[in-house]
Amino acid sequence: MDTIKHRTVEVNGIKMHVAEKGEGPVVLFLHGFPELWYSWRHQILGLSSLGYRTIAPDLRGYGDTEAPGSVTSYTCFHLVGDVIALIDSLGVEKVFVVGHDWGAIIGWYLCLFRPDRVKAYVCLSVPFRPFLGRDPKIKTVDGFRAACGDDFYICRFQMESEFARVDTAYLFKNILTTRLTEAPIFPKGEYGNGFNPNPQETLPSWLSEQDIAYYVSKFENTGFTGAINYYRNLNINWELTAPWTGVGISNVPVKFIIGSVDLVYNFPGVKEYIHNGGFKKDVPNLEEVVVQNGVAHFNNQEAAEDVNNHIYQFINKF
């Protein structure tokens, strides 16, 4: 870890913290919620040793990257704008992109808006259509409705106060180790079943107390508002992307990796979308779908070596 370099880059009007290691073709890693560049620590070390320049930023509102105060500064255009400015700062035309969770969504938007900057895309956990191009205000069971719909707390109210009800270390242990296969529910005024109603007393082998301490140190400093603001823009993102209604990803080679007990994989309709032709229809250059048996949502950490191998096998073709 000591060999990973850290620096700050001016992108799209904000200062962005970037972790990097290695030389060669650029692999850009985009983290999810509630994570940091640190979530890619295994991939940074693994891929850099195989001849790649690995880049992992703290995204807007996270960690050591600036967090604009306005909720509307977290739309999909702001997030993709940050990524494009980061790529520009690297002095390259195209990069390999690897995204997980919200980073996966940003990766899809990047491929949709600027496929000219992406050599190939490895997407972890979140497939294309169920999370883009659908009005989240509609009362359908699509996963995000369960987390962010009108009946729940995360978008309309102050989810931060719900997170503040529990110890930050407990919260991260709860989230990162969950085997829950249903959308987390946080009804207004109570913690609900949260991410993991039955957490284990001991951490799994792939997650250490040192890892938890790093996340805690950053989020106790920044809070969760920047991260939650991504969800608060779901409705406006749907409105802003109306010109892309019905448009898929046609110009970028894609590999998709998901765990069999990932809560996203088990959302109603997602397995059918992935395996019954819908995903391939939306993403014609989807070359491979990998389902990791027994692996949950944070597969880049839980099954790091397997994920590294899959990434390398795919991008090494280009």
Provide the token pair at 112: 């949709």
What does the pLDDT read at residue 160?
76
Whole-number pLDDT of residue 181: 80
Active site residue 100: no
- Walking along the chain (318 residues) 10 residues at a time, the average pLDDT comes out as 94 98 98 97 98 98 97 97 98 98 97 97 91 52 37 52 79 87 62 60 94 96 93 90 90 97 92 94 96 97 98 97
Rounded to whole angstroms, how far apart are CA atoms 128 and 105? 8
Q: What tokens were used for 5? A: 């370099």
Q: pLDDT value at position 174?
A: 85
The structural domains of the chain, with segments of one domain joined by +, span 5-316
DSSP tag of 115 = G
pLDDT given at position 246: 86
pLDDT at 146: 37
Cα separation, 110 vs 81, whole angstroms: 9
User: What is the DSSP code string of 201-214?
Assistant: SS--TT--HHHHHH
Q: Report which of 118, 106, 86 is spatially closest to residue 32, judged by C-alpha positions.
A: 106
**Tokens matching residue 239:** 């409105």
* Dihedrals phi, psi of 17, to nearest 5 degrees: -80, 135
User: Can you give the pLDDT at residue 143?
Assistant: 35
Q: Residues 58, 64, 82, 101: which is the catalytic one?
A: 101
CA atoms within 13 A on the CB side of 307: 30
Specify whether 101 is catalytic.
yes
State the catalytic residue, choosing from 153, 231, 265, 273: 231
Question: Which residues, other chains included, contact 121 with Cβ-Cβ below 8 Å and sequence gap of 6+?
Answer: 96, 97, 98, 99, 107, 110, 111, 249, 252, 253, 254, 255
DSSP track, 10-24: EETTEEEEEEEE-SS
Bridging pattern class, strands 118-124 and 14-21: unpaired
Structure tokens at 147: 């987390």
pLDDT at residue number 154: 43
Decide if 98 contacts 122 (C-beta within 8 A): yes
CA distance 111 to 166: 37
Tokens (6 digits) for 18: 């970037």
31, 78, 100, 297: the active-site residue: 297
Note if 42 is an active site residue.
no
The Cα–Cα gap between 298 and 258 comes to 9
- In 223-308, beta strands by DSSP E: 254-259, 286-292
Task: Using the Cα atoms of residue 291, residue 107, residue 177 and residue 130 in order, give the sign of their dihedral.
Answer: negative
Question: Under CATH, what is the fold of the domain 5-316?
Answer: Rossmann fold (3.40.50)
Q: Residue 137: its pLDDT value, please?
A: 53
Query: Does residue 36 contact residue 218 with C-beta atoms inside 8 Å?
Result: yes
Cβ-based neighbours of 211, under 8 Å, separated by 6 or more: 38
